[in-house]
Structure 1
Amino acid sequence: MKETCMTTSAIEPAPTRPAKAVAATAFAFSVTMMGTTLPTPLYSIYSDELAFSALTVTVLFAVYALGVVGALSLFGRLSDDLGRRPVLMLAVGFALLSAVLFLLPPSLPQLVVARVISGLGAGFMSGAGTAAMMDLFPAHRRAVAGTVAVAANTGGLALGTLIAGLIAESASKPLFTPFAVHLALCALALVGLLVWTPAPEHAGRFVIRPHRLRVPAELRRAFTRAVLAAGSGFAATGVLTAVSAMFLARELHLESHALAGFVVFLAFAGMAAGQLVARRMRPRIALPLGCVGMIVGVVFLAWALAFVVLPPLLIAAATVGVSAGLCMNAGIATTVEQALPERRGEVSSSFFAGLYLMLALPAIGVGLLATVIGLRGAGLVFTAAVALLAAVVAIASLATSRLE
Structure 2
Amino acid sequence: MASSQPAAAGSPVAFIGAAFAFVLTMIGTTMPTPLYPIYQQQFGFSQLTITIIFAVYAAGVMGALLLTGRWSDQLGRRPMLFAGLAASALSDLVFWHAGGLGMILVGRVLSGISAGIFTGTATVAVMELVPEAWKRAGPLVATAANMGGLGLGPMLAGVLVVAFPMPLILPYVVHLALVVLAVLCLWRAPETVERPARIRLSVQRLGVPEGVRGIFIPAAIAAFAGFMVCGFATSVTPAFLGKELGHHNPALIGFVAGLLFIASTAGQILQGRLPAARRLPIGCGILLIGVLSIAWGIGAKTLTGFIIGPVVAGIGQGIAFRAGLGAIAAASPSAQKASVVSTFFVVAYMAISLPVIGIGVVASFISLQLTGLLFALLVALLCCVALGLLLRPSRRQRLESP
Alpha-carbon spacing, 1:382–1:282, altered in 2? closer, same or farther (3 Å)? same
1:272 has 2:285 as partner: no
Distance 2:346 2:5 in 1: 24
> Residues 148-159 of structure 1: matches in 2 within 5 Å?
148-159=141-152
**Aligned residue for 2:7?**
13
- Contact (CA 8 Å) 2:34, 2:250: kept in 1 or not? yes
Normalised TM-score (structure 1) = 0.93
**Aligned residue for 2:400?**
none
**Aligned residue for 2:165?**
172
Distance 1:203 1:184 in 2: 34
Distance 1:403 1:35 in 2: 39
> Residues 339-354 of structure 1: matches in 2 within 5 Å?
339-354=332-347
Alpha-carbon spacing, 1:9–1:133, altered in 2? closer, same or farther (3 Å)? farther
**Aligned residue for 1:328?**
321
**Aligned residue for 1:42?**
35
The one-letter amino acid of 1:388's match is L
- Contact (CA 8 Å) 1:10, 1:81: kept in 2 or not? no
> Structure 1: which 4+ aligned runs deviate by more than 4 Å?
7-11, 138-142, 203-208
**Aligned residue for 1:357?**
350
The one-letter amino acid of 2:383's match is A
Sequence identity percentage: 39
> Residues 204-223 of structure 1: matches in 2 within 5 Å?
208-223=201-216
Distance 2:111 2:395 in 1: 43
- Contact (CA 8 Å) 2:214, 2:395: kept in 1 or not? no
Gaps of 5+ in 1: 1-6
Alpha-carbon spacing, 1:380–1:110, altered in 2? closer, same or farther (3 Å)? same
The one-letter amino acid of 2:7's match is P
Alpha-carbon spacing, 1:197–1:403, altered in 2? closer, same or farther (3 Å)? closer
Task: Count the aligned residue pairs.
Answer: 397
Distance 2:367 2:197 in 1: 52
1:184 has 2:172 as partner: no
Distance 1:214 1:365 in 2: 26
After superposition, the C-alpha distances for 1:45-91 in whole angstroms (9 at most, x for unaligned) are: 11111111111111111211111111111111101001111111111
1:87 has 2:80 as partner: yes
1:197 has 2:190 as partner: yes
Distance 2:147 2:118 in 1: 12
| 1:53 maps to which of 46, 58, 72 | 46
Distance 1:215 1:139 in 2: 34
- C-alpha RMSD of the superposition: 2.0
After superposition, the C-alpha distances for 1:216-275 in whole angstroms (9 at most, x for unaligned) are: 221122111111102201101211211111111222221100000001111000100000
Distance 2:227 2:3 in 1: 35
313-322 or 202-211, which deviates more:
202-211
> Residues 22-33 of structure 1: matches in 2 within 5 Å?
22-33=15-26
1:110 has 2:140 as partner: no
1:232 has 2:252 as partner: no
- Contact (CA 8 Å) 1:54, 1:375: kept in 2 or not? no
- Contact (CA 8 Å) 2:277, 2:396: kept in 1 or not? no
| Cα offset, 1:112, TM superposition | 0.7
Helix, strand or coil: the match of 1:202?
coil
The one-letter amino acid of 2:324's match is G
The one-letter amino acid of 2:299's match is A
**Aligned residue for 1:135?**
128
